[in-house]
Each structure stands twice: as structure tokens, then as C-alpha cells.
Chains A and B, each alone.
Chain A
Amino acid sequence: MAESKPMNPLEMLAYVLSRQINDHEVVYIGTGLPMVAGILAKKTHAPHITFVYESGGQDPIEGGMPWSVGGPETYRKSPMILEMPYSFGQAAMGLVDTGFLGFAQLDMYGNANTTMIGEEFTNPKVRLTGSGGNNDVASLCEKIVFVGIQSPQKFVKKCDFITSAGHLTGGNARQESGLLGQGPIAVVSTAGVYDFEPETKRMRIKTLHPGVSPELAQLASGFELVRPAGEIPVTEIPSEEILEILRHEVDPQGFFISMPGA
């Protein structure tokens, strides 16, 4: 029975990310785990959220799990299907509350890289996908939440390439650069949930997942995590019921939430 299987880290990520979504918000959904979390949130605690996708679809009726942010499930009987510049325009205009994004590298100020790994742009170790809509969502939405696996290779001192601006060099740098919105407000990783210290805009531990100590979280980071005074709360884990919804209704094929080789 699937529901008796222990929860895997990707399921935990999807659940914790879904908890970052407030009911009644308009949310910009990036590809991968954000789609899983968005659909889970809609099926559980946030039934009135509106999804916006960069290809032009928004507010679909319930359907399957999209393969991508352009698939039919992103505009299934949508009241309105737009085009890309209008879709991002809504975020710039102030009509989107929160954007949800993945990353390949993230630094302590919430700047993200999805472009390339290596020293030299023209001869990279790996050329990744490129920005896609990542830069636009990060630049234009009011609030940004990042999600991804945490390791010292992913939580880095310096991104090899800043695809998407977060808080740049911290402090007021984002505002001074001319960017819109508050920028990143949270990061959900396999170790915990982070927010950003209001003055320095450095990533700060908010909660840690069960079994993760602050020392362990630090070991899995290439930069120093800000540790708040006092006890650090443990991240809430999903109930059996929510895991069941996640496994049977949200991602029944396990495209996003099954661990490779599991």
C-alpha cells in the first residue's frame, strides 16, 4: 500500500511548500515541485487560489498533473487564456501575490542560478536550462518562495551565474536596483524552511525538518545560515490523509514526488 510507505524528502518538500501558499492568493507557478505544491494546496487548505502560468493559461479547473507550464492542464476550461507578455505583465502590474520557483544554485541573499555551472560562460561545466520564466517571476512578483534540494553544491557562497535576482547584495540592494516587489520571502529545502533577516536580507533558519539539527543544516550549506536566538521549531509534517491526497490525487504517476531509484 502506497500510503503505508514512509514519506520521502520530495513529498515533504511538496507539502511544506504547499503550506507557504495562502488561500485567496494569485500564485505564479514555476515548473516541477511548485506545480505539485500548488495543486496540493488547492486540494487542501487553499481552495480559492488562482494559478497563473507563463504560457498564458490561468485558473484552470481541476485536471491532471501538467507535464509543463504549457500543458492542457494549465488552461483546462480557463475563463481566459492569455499570452506570455500579458501573463508576466500581470505580475509586474501588481496582480500576482506570490511566485514559486526552483533553482540549481541559491546564495544567501536568495539570488538563483538556473543558467550554467562553471567558471566560464562560453565553456561551462554544464549548461542548464537557462532562465525560462525564472528571472521574470523573481523580478516581478510581489513575494517569491524558492524550493529545492539543499546541499553545499546548491546552497552556494556565490552563484556561478545570477539568473534571477533575489536580494542581490543584501540590505536595500534589491530596491536600489529598480526591481519590483519584496523579493524572496522564504526558501523551502530538504533540511528546513528559511526566511530572510529583515535588515541584512540574509537567509535565516525558520524551522527545521524532523531529525535535522542546526549543525546538520549548516553542513549542507556552502554559506553561513543565520541562526535565530532560542529554540528552532520543527517543521510540521504532513498527515497520513494529506500524503494520501499527494500520492493518489496530485501526482499519482509519481513524476515529481518519487525518489529516483525508489
Chain B
Amino acid sequence: MSSFQFEYNQEAVKNLKIEDTSILDRLVDYRHAREARHKKDHSQRDKRMSLSEAVAEYVQDGDILGYTGFGYVRTSLQSDWEVIRQGKKGLQSIGSPNTCQSYGVTFGNTPYTHASYAGAEMRGYDKYFSDNIKSGRVKILSDWSHGLMGLGFKAAQLGLPGVFAKSGLGSDLVNYNPYLKVMNNPMVKNGDPCVFVPALCPDITFIHVHAADMYGNARFFGPAVNDLALAGATRKLVITAEEIVSNTDIRWNNKGVQIPFQNVDAVVELPYGAAPGYMPGCYYWARRWWEKLFTMMSEGQEHMDKYVREWILDTKDTRDVLKKLGGVDFMINQKRLAKAAEADNEDSGVSFKYEPWTPNTPPDVFD
């Protein structure tokens, strides 16, 4: 740890009933994060390894785990599941959104959250997360808006101690977030209240991309959400990619190169690493899989335990998950839907109609 002594928003510390604030320190200790990044081997070298090796080596109990993508879009779900399979404990989750923290809660991997958004948008709030907050199985360490958290990651990526923002003012977020402070803009004499957002540095982040080279130079397309920022903000970074391409390919098709290799610790070839979610232009999300999940979330602990056990603990790896989702038929169909959804392929004649999941849906139908 660095020599910083942190001065948190005391009102928020009190409101959140945080007794020992040292649990808050690492997220905002940008000097400590700098040191961790500085100590890495910065050479261009082959960083390829398997997902289970990457998780075993780079995720420690108690780590702050950054969630990437957007809920079900280009989220590193298969990596997050491997973290659960390996039984990592005491994790803090952070991400905007951090909807997927619910799986981690199930098996007690994630007792802490820096909350921003937990839910399924049109399908409502996450009742399971709500129950876990009430029972104390998960504790909120700070409550955020997406924009404010995004600025914290962005500040870290730009190497800034923090930024002054215009979100959050007047709201209760500043009363329930130890990291946020309402301060005057020092450049304005007659008053310009702002919210100071410190740089946010998670310990470990998995980012799923379309292509990366063996050094970790990576490209993806679709919404970046907070992933460009997180790639710089995090202390440890694992890139999982639909395909590993040559460094020449990265250099000659460089329009989409967004993540530079230096901060990357491991490169994992992981086709379907975002399944059962959506990968822009590659595969559609398993709609009924998610609908069933949302239903299980509302049914409570026992049902969630069973669902997550079935999909995460009782599967060996991503290939297993794909077989369960419907195998070859699933993969071909989801590719077709994704290409049509993005207007990359002819979309007339491609139907997006389907029957939403109900308890009467056959047990092996998830697309």
C-alpha cells in the first residue's frame, strides 16, 4: 500500500455503517495501482494461457473485480463464471452496470459491491440482489451512478487523481458514497459546486474482445462502455478474445485497436467468451436463458442456487456451456441473428420473433 491516508465522505461512511474504512482504500489508491503496473514486465512477449490458468494466477481472494461490457452485451461472462468455479472468495464487484454480480453472490464469492445498477432493464429489478442486500449476504460499500463511476475509471485511465463532475449534485448518491465529495470548483470565485470523483482502480478486470495478438494488443467493436477506461484503470488485466491474430494483423487492421498491450497480463483464446450474452456481430444472446435466469432471480435463493450450479459449477468450461445451450444449432442460429441485428447481413427474412421463456418451455431451449 502507498502512504496515503484517505479522508472519506464521513456522512456516507456513517450512512453505510462501514466500521473499518480500510476496506475502501485499495480502489482509490492510485499510487499503489501505479506501482503494481510499473512492476510488470513491460516487454512484448507471448502472454497466451488458458482461462483456468489466468484465473488461478491473477484473481486473488479479496480482489476488487471489474465488470465489463454492458449487462449481457460483450460481458466477459465465461471468465466471471470461471472465477466462481475456482471458488475465489471475498471479492468486491464494481462495474457500470454490475448486473452480473448476482451469480457471484450465489456462492458467496462476492460479499461486497460498489453498486451502480443491478437489474434487467425491461424485465425489472433484480429481486435476488435485493434479498441479498436485506439479508446482509452482500454489503454495499459505495453507491454510484453509471456516469460518475465511468468518470472514476476514465480518470484512472488518464492518470489523473480524480475529476470534478456535474452529476450527483443534490442527490442522495453523495450521502451514500464514501468516495464522492461535493466541492467548489477552485477556478470559480462565486461558487460552482461539483462532485469530486477519485480515480478508481480495480484489482483485476477481464475484457472480452473480438481479436488480440499474443502480446495483448486488442480490438473490439460495438459500445466500448467503460472498457477502454478499465483497461488502463485496473491493476491486472486479462484479455479474452474470440480469436488470437498475428501482430501483423493488428498492425494492418489497426482501425479498431483500442487496448494497448502494456497493462495486459494474460491473453486467452476464448471463442464464445461472452456467451450466453451478445457479442457484437458474432453471436446473439440466448434470450430464453436470460428470461429463465430473471425468473429464478425472483423465485429466490434456492432456485438461483440450482440454476447457477447447473450452469456454472456443473459445467467444466465454455465448450460445455455451449453444448448445453444447444450446440451447433445454437451457434449457427445465434450467428445469423447477430449478423442480421447489426445489418451486416441481409435481414429481410430473418425473424427475431420467439416465445419468451415460461415454465412450459422445453428444458433444452435457450435461444
Contacts and interface: CB of A to CB of B under 8 A. Distances in A.
Interface in A129-148: 129-136, 139-140
B221 A81 contact: yes
A56 B223 contact: yes
Interface stretch (B49-57, B115-123, B207-215): B115-123
Interface in A2-33: 31-32
Contacts of A53: 223
Interface residue range, chain B? 35 or more
B314 interface: no
Interface residue range, chain A? 35 or more
A249 B294 CA distance: 26
B166 A92 contact: yes
A101 to B, nearest CB: 12
A55 B73 contact: yes
A129 B134 contact: no
Interface string A66-85: 01111111111100011111
Interface string B187-226: 0000111100000000000000000000000000111111
A115 to B, nearest CB: 7
A140 B70 contact: no
B146 A128 contact: no
A32 B285 CA distance: 19
A133 B170 contact: no
Nearest to A82: B224
Nearest to A53: B223
B96 A84 contact: yes
Contacts of A67: 72, 121-122, 285, 287
Interface of B: 15-17, 69-73, 96-97, 115-122, 125-126, 129-130, 133-134, 140, 143-148, 150-151, 153-154, 166-173, 176, 191-194, 221-229, 278, 280, 285, 287, 338, 341-343, 352-353, 356
29 contacts: A54-B147, A55-B225, A57-B223, A67-B287, A70-B69, A70-B70, A70-B71, A70-B72, A81-B224, A83-B224, A83-B229, A84-B96, A84-B150, A85-B226, A88-B147, A88-B150, A122-B16, A131-B116, A131-B144, A131-B146, A132-B117, A133-B146, A135-B145, A135-B167, A136-B145, A136-B147, A139-B168, A179-B166, A255-B122
Given A115-B143, A135-B173, A255-B122, 8 more contacts: A31-B121, A63-B343, A83-B150, A129-B119, A129-B125, A130-B143, A164-B171, A165-B171
